Structure 1
Amino acid sequence: MAGTFTIAGHAIEAPPLEPGLYLVATPIGNLRDITIRALETLAACDLLACEDTRITRRLLDRYAIAQKSVAYHEHNAAEAGPRLLAALGEGQAVALVSDAGTPLVSDPGYRLVGEALAAGHRAIPIPGPSAVLAGLAASGLPTDDFRFIGFLPAKDKARRDRLAGLADVRSTLIAFESPHRLAATLRAIADLCGPDRPVCVARELTKRFETVVTGPAGEMAGRFGEGAVKGEIVVMIAPAPEGQTVPDAADIDALLKTLLADMPAARAAREASRTTGLPRADLYNRLLAMKKADG
């Protein structure tokens, strides 16, 4: 399907597309970060699938792209996916976008890509903005070996268990986090990875109030522990130093249960702190959570 887009008042005709599934990266905040190839794809595709049609409409309107879109997201993937695959089977060019950044990063698009490839269709990446790489580039942390861990768990114990299992990884860790959980996450990082472990908080990347702050985990927990934080947030944790080992979460729980059988909770937390090197207060809170979970 032929289509046009407009830049600075100039209408440009998009070239036709070959059949296939086009994975189109879109801006993470600043709409000027869109690529020419992405605009061509959005204007010329036969079918545009997006996470939220209202958000994608802002981008389409900015560049005067008269393209209809359909929703494809976590909650309707089972119903919308087959329709997109059927369109591919008819030889159409289907474009997939997320609300911001590169599709398939923390969204269900990977399922659609797998099914499309299994059915013999092409998957064509249209590269562009990514909050993961933008945050890493500006963090000052090592970039030669990094690991994206997605969104951390919402519940405190599950989040701490996840971080405990990653604390000795010798790669820069990159996570997405919500504003109202940022303070708790930074405290957990300081407790489980050590207060001196470098951490970067990148907020509102490419937007007007963009901030990128890097510092020791303990200081960062204090800095972002007061007042409400707004915006999209990427948290990055420096690799574990050579020789550093962190007890496994299951081992910590087993130790706490053993100690609790012979002594009060406060003393058990103190003894566990001496054994593991982890903060006594954090171990005490973990022990209380375990007791509550066990009834």
Structure 2
Amino acid sequence: MNAPFVARADEVALLDETLDRAGSGMAGAVLLAADAGVGKTRLVQHVAAQATAAGAHVVVTHCVDLGDVGLPYLPFAETLAQLHALAPGVVDEIVAARPALARLMPGQPAAADGSANRLQLFEGLVEVLGAVGTAGHPLLLVVEDVHWADSSSRDVLRFLVSRLRDQHLLLVASYRTDDLHRRHPWRPVAAELARHPRVQRLDLRPFTPDELREFTVAVTGASVPEQSLRRVVDRSEGNAYFAQELLEAGTDADELPWSLAEVLRARLEGLDPEVQQLVRVASVAGRRVDERLLRAAVGD
């Protein structure tokens, strides 16, 4: 089931205003940050649908978690394919002038690697993105899950932001804040991009209890008893995905839904063994754990 869209009026207004500026020739970017399940994708879907209805061109691409392997330029190869479907003549003309872009096009020979070709590829992407959007009909480019972006894609994002000028373009890059450990490669890139004058960071917070009440009505089609609602609020802590899974499983169920349990299990298994042990200790201690207790438990 797709999650219903509720609340988020301030976030929608910010994105709409930024897209309006892009339609007037003031390119910009938004870094959309939140924990997993809070509602980044649902917000993007809503704004993209509104933008399409208003006459904007919309391209939505994704980064994929492939561990240390990665696929160079994956979201931008997807971007170029979608742009070619939107404006084939524009894309073909720019690819012909900048053949390094061909490496991102299916069925075309790739140019040899090298710093000159890499620069040509970056500049070609910026040129294509700037050529598709027009006055009143901007291009909304959404790159989801950039915390999984490979190093080449991170470099493209940095280059693209550095070239934001008078294009009719809005870039929205979404990422999970709870995945950003101290040495995560996206962390310094996000900090660098956020300092650019054309970039705004949008932190998507969990639902408030009142917003979650609205969300439960939208999910269930009926009001939920106050006691059951408080149980969902307490267990989900405003996380839309968690709340929806709990509602679909039944608000009186004591065990976690299997789908939610699998998500949490996968996230725990991604932690270092020492951290996993710390989580086990904390789970026994209760919902709130004193730091001194944790230090004593791990022998610190």
Q: Assess same fold via TM > 0.5.
A: no
Specify which structure has the bigger relative contact order, considering alpha-carbon pairs within 8 angstroms and separated by 6 or more residues.
2
Structure with the bigger percentage of strand: 1
TM-score calculated relative to the size of structure 2: 0.29
TM-score calculated relative to the size of structure 1: 0.29
